[in-house]
Amino acid sequence: MGEHYGVAVTARPARTPASPPVDVVAASLRDELAAARARGGTVRVLDVGGGSGAWAVPLAVQGCEVTVVDSSANALAVLRSRARDAGVDAAVHALQADVDALAAVTDGVQADLVLGHGLLEYVDDPAAAVHSLATATAPGGALSLLVAGRYAAVLARVVSGRVGDARRMLADPAGRWGAADQLLRRMDTAELTALVEQEPSLALERVQGHRVLADLIPESAADAGTPADVAALEELASTTPPLRDLASRIHVLARRA
């Protein structure tokens, strides 16, 4: 579930380093899992809108017990197949439901880590969705939200020559280019952080951009540096405004009191 927009400012192909640039979201989740393991017991993860398991299956491979809640039966079928292929089908549980039915389908069981990646772009009431996600987070646990960034989408439309779409997305409160837009909204950093901060049970801990600069480095660049250089640049840019705010997706991590 979700939509990915890169800010491609040139027609040249993106650089593919020998090893991929640092994924700041995955790094944040690894840190969170390490802290949860230190508290003892199996780490429970709830992935809401997790679809075919892009995040869930790797987390299960790392030893987590993962429950995926998604409204799409087809996506959940792909999830089960991917989990079997990875040998973690016993650790991955699929439930078909919407976020507003979260408490009912999970029987009120709380998770150490709750993911809402590519979810808020589609729900009717993002504040209610954040509340449901926060309620499903165990005390001391973390909520991870990842949403499509408004400004990256605007820039992507501009460089592809779709200036009218870009203007409409920038002017529209929900960051949409028109009625046929598949997303209900795109957010900027301020909107997302405000949404989290209005939920009284959550304390905002981290705000960062996902895939900020690494995709813009041309493959032919002679002085682009090593993969470690690219990773260091990406990690720094992910938390440096305004570069952070131009990322294709915005990530926040919040703690349940």
Cα 87 from chain centroid?
24
- Measured distance CA(152)–CA(139) in Å, rounded: 34
pLDDT for the residue numbered 120: 97
pLDDT at 5 over 70: no
pLDDT for the residue numbered 190: 97
Helices marked H in the chain = 24-38, 56-61, 73-85, 102-105, 126-135, 150-159, 163-171, 189-197, 227-237
233 is a domain residue: yes
68 close to 96: Cβ distance less than 8 angstroms: no
122 is a domain residue: yes
| Mean pLDDT taken over the chain | 89
pLDDT (average), residues 97-115: 90
pLDDT at 22 over 90: no
**CATH label of the domain that carries residue 218:** 3.40.50.150
Domain count, the chain: 1
pLDDT for the residue numbered 7: 34
Selection from 17-26, 92-101, 128-137 with the highest mean pLDDT: 128-137
36 is a domain residue: yes
pLDDT at 15 over 90: no
247 close to 38: Cβ distance less than 8 angstroms: no
104 close to 132: Cβ distance less than 8 angstroms: no
pLDDT (average), residues 11-25: 55
**pTM of full prediction above 0.95:** no
Domain interval for residue 127: 24-256
pLDDT for the residue numbered 215: 78
161 is a domain residue: yes
pLDDT at 141 over 50: yes
18 is a domain residue: no
Q: Which of 97, 101, 118, 6 lies closest to 53, judged by CA?
A: 118
Backbone angles phi, psi at 183, to 5 degrees: -95, 145
- Measured distance CA(152)–CA(91) in Å, rounded: 36
185 is a domain residue: yes
DSSP 114-137: EEEET-TTT-S-HHHHHHHHHHTE
Residue 95, Cβ density class (10 Å: 0-12 exposed, 13-18 middle, ≥19 buried): middle
pLDDT for the residue numbered 218: 79
213 is a domain residue: yes
